[in-house]
Amino acid sequence: MKIFKIILSNIVFVCLFQQSFSQTLNFRNLKKENKHIATLNAGLEYGLVYGLCYGYQIKSKKPVILNVELSIPSGENIFDDYKAKIGGQAKLYQIKNFHLIGKVQGIYRRNQNDYVQLQNFGAELSVTAGYYKRRWFTAVEIGFDQAIVTHFKHSNVYKQIYPGVQDGWYEPATGGNYYLGLQAGYSFKRSDIFLKGGTVSTQNFSKPLLPFYAQLGYTIKFRNASKRV
């Protein structure tokens, strides 16, 4: 029984403490008329993960982008596991080519395996500081991803091994992780290609099973139809 508790704890750790990627942009190359922003990416975070993101730049003095994101790991049953995020990012400060960018995200995760189905709500806060030119950029990103509340629905297999287990919502926060990484990209007229990677640690500053992450992505920006020439 103790062994299966350890197994379940590891499953929860892998499912909930994954790095949360945010849409990566060259803010120096971003124009006010670039209202619609789409990103495709592939990355490594406890496995190969594919992502799609849509952002909308609202009218404001400084660039502010609202976004929704969906990421799915590779595997046979792709809809058993996925992660959705909604939030935004904004340029907080700028000195010449140096930019400071803040991001806030709400997160929903769903993960399922032979022992348990997990549904989790969480949040992510990150800050990116870097050097941005029209054709390229490089930056450092630091953030914290918190799993706030999680719903457990255990399988019959697990209940036969551990009959006393209970389904339901568990709170307060079930854990979180810090991440620190580098990112760099090259920009074209309406698109960016970027690469990012870094290290991950739990909120207790211990190393997870895979203590690093990496991502390659492509972003394209569109104007409103009425603004196109």
pLDDT digits (tens, 9 = 90+) for 184-201: 999 998 999 999 999 988
CA distance 143 to 141: 7
Q: Which amino acid is at 136?
A: W
Give pLDDT, residue 224.
Answer: 73
Domain harbouring 72, CATH code: 2.40.128
Which pLDDT band, with edges at 50, 70 and 90, does 1 fall under? Answer: very low
Give pLDDT, residue 21.
Answer: 61
For the chain, percent of residues with pLDDT exceeding 90? 49
In a domain, 204, yes or no: yes
Give pLDDT, residue 229.
Answer: 42
In a domain, 66, yes or no: yes
When pLDDT is averaged across residues 132-149 and rounded to a whole number, the result is: 93
Give pLDDT, residue 205.
Answer: 78
Give pLDDT, residue 76.
Answer: 63
CA distance 184 to 132: 10
Give pLDDT, residue 185.
Answer: 97
Give pLDDT, residue 184.
Answer: 97
Give pLDDT, residue 5.
Answer: 47
In a domain, 229, yes or no: no
Number of domains in the chain: 1
In a domain, 140, yes or no: yes
Which pLDDT band, with edges at 50, 70 and 90, does 6 fall under? Answer: very low
In a domain, 81, yes or no: yes
Between 34 and 206, where is the model more confident?
Answer: 34
When pLDDT is averaged across residues 61-89 and rounded to a whole number, the result is: 86
In a domain, 75, yes or no: yes
When pLDDT is averaged across residues 76-99 and rounded to a whole number, the result is: 88
When pLDDT is averaged across residues 85-89 and rounded to a whole number, the result is: 95
3-state helix/strand/coil string of 76-141: CCHHHCEEEEEEEEEEEEEECCEEEEEEEEEEEEEEECCCEEEEEEEEEEEEEEEEECCCEEEEEE
Burial (0-12, 13-18, 19+ Cβ within 10 Å), 154: middle
In a domain, 26, yes or no: yes
Task: Return the sign of the alpha-carbon dihedral for residues 199, 204, 205, 210.
Answer: negative
When pLDDT is averaged across residues 143-163 and rounded to a whole number, the result is: 87
When pLDDT is averaged across residues 32-44 and rounded to a whole number, the result is: 93
Domain containing 104 equals: 2-224
In a domain, 128, yes or no: yes
Tokens of 63: 């660039």
Give pLDDT, residue 147.
Answer: 84
Give pLDDT, residue 111.
Answer: 84
When pLDDT is averaged across residues 54-72 and rounded to a whole number, the result is: 93
